[in-house]
Amino acid sequence: MPKFFIKTYGCQMNERDSEQVALSLTARGYERVAEETEADLVLLNTCSVRDMADQKALGKMGMLGRIAKERPHVVFGFLGCMAQARGESLLKNLPHVDLVVGTQKFHRVADYVQELVAKKTARSGPSRTGTLAPYYSPNCAMDDPRFSIVDIAEEPGSQETIREQQLAPRQGTAFVSIMQGCNMHCTFCIVPQTRGAERSRSINEIVREVRDLVARGVKEVTLLGQIVNLYGRHEFPKIDNKSPFVQLLEAVHQVDGLDRLRFTSPHPIGFRDDLIDAIARLPKLAEHVHLPLQSGSNKILKAMHRAYTAEKYVDLVHRIQEARKGIAITTDIIVGFPGETETDYRRTRDLVEQIQFDNAFIFRYSPRRDTPAVEMPEQIEEPVNDKRNQDLLRVVNESARRANERLVGRDVEVLCEGQSKTNQARLMGRTRTNKIVVFESDERLAGEIFDVRVEQANGFSLYGTPVLPTSCASNGDHVRHRTDSPRRT
């Protein structure tokens, strides 16, 4: 049985795309393995949001060149955002790369792999060149019949090719991509170039996927979109003054057997009254909103094309908190955007202190080619970026620590996701507010929902002991299946 290995860089959407590719390969008779040295097919699903992600993927593929020399039958490929952005140029310095597939063609990967394997097996056949996609190009010396397939062309209707995904045994949570692309064109972001324009799946198709996941044991789904709360705005009408996204939330909420519903990542401009009302009245919606801020300076927000002010952002946070008691708010922030003065940074820092986020991802601005920001004057020097990054991290870490410490001594509802990544002797799960809880218990509890009594907290995780009936603790039976009046922890 042939074996494949996939390494994923970047966001949850990339993780979801990798699982779709994995399922399609498994259906062709491939077996997934945990080490690239064991594989006959090695794929890197890439990210282009920051330069570091590009460099990690390029460095990894470079190191894989030694495997190509030792095992010439192995197929190597780039998938995803960096593949979309760089295309055929990825072949120039990496002669062992056989496959480059962009963001609209994940459903074609298995076909292309089959074709490449056949070519390598036959070791014959002329190259085909031209403007049609996919593009086949010689990738080695003229006497070497290896060929590379490059397909980064747009595909109308590609959002409807998002299908089933591979699930681990007893996996209780899953990502569901509801759309592709982005129309916002923030000046720091390359995503509109790599993911294309907004395109949304139908509500019926999404609900069908969620029902299938629940039938396979999933208790929580996270709806994914580049700007998830702008779902369907170009394709579907409002009904009863509800946006297509709120209509989708209501439809998924009605799926029997689903306990928790999440979505990420939204944009502040997509939070209208109907969505805030949905947060207040749909009990399966988890008490967590990830709401990217990016900057607390109105001058910088305008330069970023973020289309809101710091004051409007704060007001929105207050409205969300009023809609659902105990809701957790997390965010993304960029420091060192071109033109950011010390005063601009202090405004961001002050806003973070004011809101007291449950957690935040802090990023140093990363110049990306083909974005307006890379051409802006007043690029900030790296030492200044690093200083601001470290300073804001300290503020956020202290805020997160306080939020976690408030839960010590309380019972929190946890969906167990399996072994802890940092300590495989323990299990981990997430609360409804998306806080990580680590505990010792039977591995058969993976995929189940139950209470954990929090005994210790740090800035990143909670530690505790499951509160289980004796029979459940001993046999791993389903602990709780509850969808009404959820606890807000």
Q: Distance of alpha carbon 192 from its chain centroid, rounded?
A: 16
Same domain for 217 and 324? no
Where is average pLDDT lowest: 140-154, 225-239, 468-482?
Answer: 468-482
CA distance 344 to 395: 16
DSSP 400-464: HHHHHHTTTTSEEEEEEEEE-SS-TTSEEEEETT--EEEE---GGGTT-EEEEEEEEE-SSEEEE
Q: Do 261 and 342 fall into the same domain?
A: no
* Secondary structure letter of residue 87 according to DSSP: G
pLDDT at 128: 36
Binned at pLDDT 50, 70 and 90, residue 137 comes out as low
| pLDDT tens-digit map of 4-15 | 999 999 989 999
Among 38-47, 319-328, 473-482, the least confident range: 473-482
Q: Give the alpha-carbon dihedral of 472, 478, 479, 480, to 10 degrees.
A: -160
- Same-domain status, 65 and 79: yes
Q: Which of 313, 278, 272 is nearest to 294 (CA)?
A: 313
CA 160 to CA 199: how far, in whole Å?
9
Q: Domain containing 282 — which CATH number?
A: 3.30.750.210
**Residue where the block lists tokens 């509890």:** 445
Query: In 342-381, which residue ranges form alpha helices assigned H by DSSP?
Result: 342-355
Range of the domain at 355: 298-405
* Mode of pairing for the β-strands spanning 411-419 and 427-431: antiparallel
Strand-pair partners of 328: 288
Same domain, yes or no, for 34 and 105?
Answer: yes
pLDDT for the residue 446: 93
pLDDT for residue 359: 96
So what's the pLDDT on residue 474?
Answer: 41
The phi and psi torsions of 461 (rounded to 5 degrees) equal: -140, 160
Percent of the chain with pLDDT over 70: 91
What is the structure's pLDDT at 125? 44
Residue 82 to residue 150: CA distance in whole angstroms: 13
Total residues found in the chain within this entry: 489
Longest dimension (CA), the chain: 70
Q: Mark which of 405, 432, 457 sits at the end of a domain.
A: 405
Residues 38-75 pLDDT 10s: 999 999 999 988 888 899 999 999 999 999 999 989 99
Q: Which of 223, 257, 286 is the last residue of a domain?
A: 286
Residue 367 belongs to a domain with what CATH number? Answer: 3.30.750.200
DSSP summary character for residue 158: G
The pLDDT of residue 132 is above 90: no
Report d(CA 298, CA 347) in Å as an integer: 9
Residue 49: predicted pLDDT: 87
At 144 the pLDDT is 45
User: 261: closest CA among 423, 467, 67, 432?
Assistant: 432
Q: What is the pLDDT of residues 425-468, one digit of tens each?
A: 899 999 999 999 999 988 889 999 999 999 999 878 999 999 98
Q: Which of 126, 151, 176 is the last residue of a domain?
A: 151
56 and 35 assigned to the same domain: yes
Shared-domain flag, residues 401 and 420: no
CA distance 456 to 439: 11
> φ and ψ at 306, to 5 degrees?
-90, -15
Q: Tokens 């909420």 correspond to what residue?
A: 253
CA distance 457 to 461: 6
Residue 369 one-letter amino acid: R
pLDDT mean over 141-153? 68
Q: Got the DSSP string for 174-219?
A: EEEE-EE------TT--HHHHH-S-EE--HHHHHHHHHHHHHTT--
Pairing relationship of beta strands 179-180 and 173-177 according to DSSP bridges: unpaired
298-308 per-position pLDDT tens digit: 999 999 999 99
Nearest-CA neighbor of 378 among 341, 420, 352?
341
- Whether 482 is covered by a domain: the verdict is no
Pair 369, 346 in one domain: yes
Q: In which band, very low, low, confident or very high, does the pLDDT at 136 lie, cut at 50, 70 and 90?
A: low
Angle at 479 between CA 478 and CA 485, to 5 degrees: 120
Give the predicted TM-score (pTM) of the model: 0.88
Q: Is residue 484 part of a domain?
A: no
Note whether 219 and 250 are within 8 A (CB): no
Residue 65's pLDDT is 93
Q: Provide the pLDDT for residue 450.
A: 96
Over residues 357-376, the mean pLDDT reads 94
Backbone φ and ψ for 389, nearest 5 degrees, come out as: -60, -50
pLDDT confidence tier of residue 134, bands split at 50, 70 and 90: low
Would you say residue 147 lies in a domain?
yes
C-alpha neighbours within 13 Å on the C-beta side of residue 478: 8
370 in any annotated domain: yes
pLDDT of residue 458: 85
What pLDDT does residue 161 have? 85
pLDDT at 50: 86
Q: Is residue 314 part of a domain?
A: yes
- Percent of the chain at pLDDT > 90 equals 79
Same domain assignment for residues 395 and 445: no
Is residue 327 a contact partner of residue 319, using CB atoms and an 8 Å limit?
no
What pLDDT was estimated at residue 166?
A: 83
Mean pLDDT throughout 30-40?
A: 95
How many domains is the chain built from? 4
Task: Specify whether 266 is located in the same domain as 323.
Answer: no
Residue 286 structure tokens: 């988890």
pLDDT tens, residue by residue, 237-295: 999 999 999 999 999 999 999 999 999 999 999 999 999 999 999 999 999 999 999 99
Half-sphere exposure of 240 (CA within 13 A, CB side): 6
Mean pLDDT of the region 132-141: 45
Measured between alpha carbons, how far is residue 235 from residues 17, 178, 229, 271, 285 in Å?
A: 23, 13, 14, 19, 24
464 lies in the same domain as 435: yes
Do residues 123 and 253 both lie within one domain? no
Answer yes or no: are the C-beta atoms of 65 and 39 closer than 8 Å: no
Burial (0-12, 13-18, 19+ Cβ within 10 Å), 45 = buried
